[in-house]
Amino acid sequence: MGDTKTLPLLLLKEAVLFPGMMLYIELEENDPAMDVVRAATKSREPLFATYRFAKLGELPEVLDEKNQPSVIASIGTVCVAPNVIHTPKGKYRIMLRGLERADAGFIPDDSVKKVEVTPYPLELRPLTQVESEAMKRELVSKFNEFAEKNPKMSKSALEPLLASETVDRMIDQGCYLIPIPMPVRQGLLEAKTNIERFQRLLGVLSTEIEIMSIHEQIHKKVQVNIDKNQKEYVLREQLKVIHEELGDVGPSDEGERFRRKVAELQASDDIKNVILNEIKRYQSIGNNNGEGGVIRNYIETMLSLPWDKVSEDNHDLKLAADILERDHYGMEKVKERIMEFLAVRSMTTNLNSPILLLVGPPGTGKTSIAKSIAESLGRQYVRVCLGGVRDESEIRGHRRTYIASMPGRIVMGLKTAGTKNPLMLLDEVDKIGSDYKGDPSAALLEVLDSAQNNKFVDHFVEQPVDLSHVIFVATANTTETIPRPLLDRMEIIELSSYTKNEKLHIAKEHLLPKQLEQHGLTLKQLGITDKAMDSLIEFYTREAGVRSLERKLGEICRKACRKICEDKENEVKTGKINVSDKNLEAFAGRKKYRKEALDKKPLVGVVHGLAWTSVGGVLMDLEVGLMPGKGEFVLTGSLGDVMKESAAIGRSYLRSVADLLGIEESLFREKDIHIHAPEGATPKDGPSAGVTMVTAMYSALSNTPIRQDVAMTGEVTLRGRVLPIGGLKEKLLAAKSNGMKDVIVPEANRADAEEISEEIIGGMQLHFVRDVKEVLDIAKA
């Protein structure tokens, strides 16, 4: 192109054309610019394409004679339109190819059709190879950083730019490819030198990168500072839609389901209002956070409690008696108490439910009798094991402020039963502990007080729960570890050890049929004679209850099963297996206990005492020896403090009445007295061995033989009085099983002895004594 030439003017509103670049534009059919393109294409002459500024703030510093800025850039690009395509939408797609830069001077407005343009060449200042390489590297670095910050631009779009061989070509490509504002592009087009253009492009890139960095920081801060409740609301709405798509139940639907359950709930209006208020809270909060889960758990717990749901009691006394007799042999006191309750309940409904404490050795049926009581009354049975419980919250429940909190065992028992009047067994109440978390036995005071348990408040439920209709049956092996205030609230029924005859009946009527059923056997396949059963009781199991006996019967059943199976595999016909006293060892093993032969002739310093333990009564021998010394007093055999005190009391009593009993007083100064209780590994304690120790010391000091068919028990005082003892039935059982003919018992225990069956007392002579002198008169040979 010459120095000056008149060319058609093409105004670009949304693009800036650079030399050497291809640019596509779209024009409407009636657009004036389209007439310019048609004329130029027809005459095959080039066009002058320049940018038309759209906003007042974008106007360049080009002024007319009236000092008014022009809206049309004077610097543009001479170009050709080699291709014009008519699109299906009625528009024209035109391809422009830039040739060179040109200056049209001042262009007043859009009405100008043609302009005189002069070339506006780029001044190329010489660059060394090092400068050129440095400029290229700087541009590459900025282009890459720009692409990383700008999410609209991919790195693949930079590939032709980065492949440019010269800095000028790279700048031309960058001006065309980089998404920067049009006025900025126009400024790059108007740069006079290559150095100025480089600096302008570098400045533009740096500015855009900084703007994008600041925008990113602001965006992150805004995201962090979004209101938490708004965020939760959005997530909750999204989750609601997800639940609807999946067919799950949301808080609103669940709230309606809860309301329907409240309408069906058998409870007072106060309880229903509490639940309805919690449902409102749950619906407003939803179940997507911790508090919503706690409220939902509370609502479900409240709805599952039997507030006013009562099961109907059985008033058929004969049926109740048959059930109690069917499942348990003996236990007359327990059965009598339950029958009395039923009889009174049939007369009035105002009777408070009894609170019973069954005390007895292990294996005597305390837990199992509770099931039978529940069945005989027609009530639900719930067992609450309290052995080892140390946390008060186990009884009263956990407060709702804790995640995963739950009601206490009492309320959970009601929930399990499904009625407000079940029979609740408080098992092992004597083994409750206490620590820094509280004392569970103190929490039980309200539960087991019939005067105030009608408004028991659980920490979780926080509403009064009526426990007055619940029959509480507690079990314990001893009352010594139960706090006195708690013991005072319960009606104590003692279950003593079983006699040999009772064990035989229990084994034949209950234990053996149960074991046969569990092992898939019948009475036609296995039978045990009475003599074999007697031997099992006497030589294999020495216990107050029948647990070990049941295990031995299970062992016999297992061996019988094995024999039947082996014979079947060997094609040997097996008849009925009869276990007798002769072949018992083949099924039950060697005998664990043997009868110790007692001395028939009287002995000096050896006396049979009777002791009570948690597993029943035992015969306890006491031996006293004298040796030269200085009057020292030695006690051995793992004796407890109370037993040591009893020995000291007996020694002092004998010394005080030595002349009356024919004992030389000098012996207490010149002889050492050694009292020993055999089986030293077994701890022994209690005051009931007092008369035994006095008798043994008297025998040794006076060299008087003592009958070996006599056993005794009783506490002794410094004045020689004999005081009452406990566990008389168990002690008499021990005396009977060891072949004693005479038993010395405190006079104060005569009433207890009258309640003991003839089966235990039969064959023995009971002597009721008031002081030690009577004991000595009976025991002396």
- The Cα diameter of the chain in Å comes to 161
- Cα→Cα distances 469→355, 419, 464, 522, Å: 11, 10, 14, 43
Strand duo 5-12 + 114-119: pairing: antiparallel
Is 631 within 8 Å of 697 (Cβ atoms)? no
The β-bridge relationship of strands 705-706 and 671-676 is unpaired
- Is residue 702 annotated as a catalytic residue, yes or no? no
Q: Which of 366, 503, 684, 731 is catalytic?
A: 731
State the burial class of residue 459 (Cβ atoms within 10 Å of its Cβ: 0-12, 13-18, 19+): buried
Identity of the residue numbered 409: R
- Does 699 participate in catalysis according to the annotation? no
753 CA to centre of own chain: 51
Question: Alpha helix (H) ranges present in 448-511?
Answer: 484-488, 500-506
Amino acid letter for position 95: M
Dihedral (Cα; 150, 151, 154, 157), 10-degree rounding: -50
Spatial neighbors of 234 by CB under 8 A, at least 6 apart, are none
Question: In terms of Cα–Cα distance, which of 327, 274, 324 is closest to 301?
Answer: 274
The CA distance from 511 to 762, in Å, is 27
CA distances (Å), origin 521, targets 112, 527, 534: 118, 10, 22
Element containing residue 779 per DSSP (H, E): helix 772-779
Tokens of 149: 């910050």
Compute the distance between CA of residue 341 and CA of residue 407 in angstroms, rounded to an integer. Answer: 30
Residue 64 host element (H or E)? none
- Tokens linked to 38: 């048609």
- Residue of 688, 699, 736, 737 marked catalytic: 688
Identify whether the C-beta of residue 81 lies closer than 8 Å to the C-beta of residue 20.
no
Rg over CA atoms, the chain: 53
707 vs 778: CA distance, rounded Å: 9
* Catalytically active residues, by annotation: 688, 731
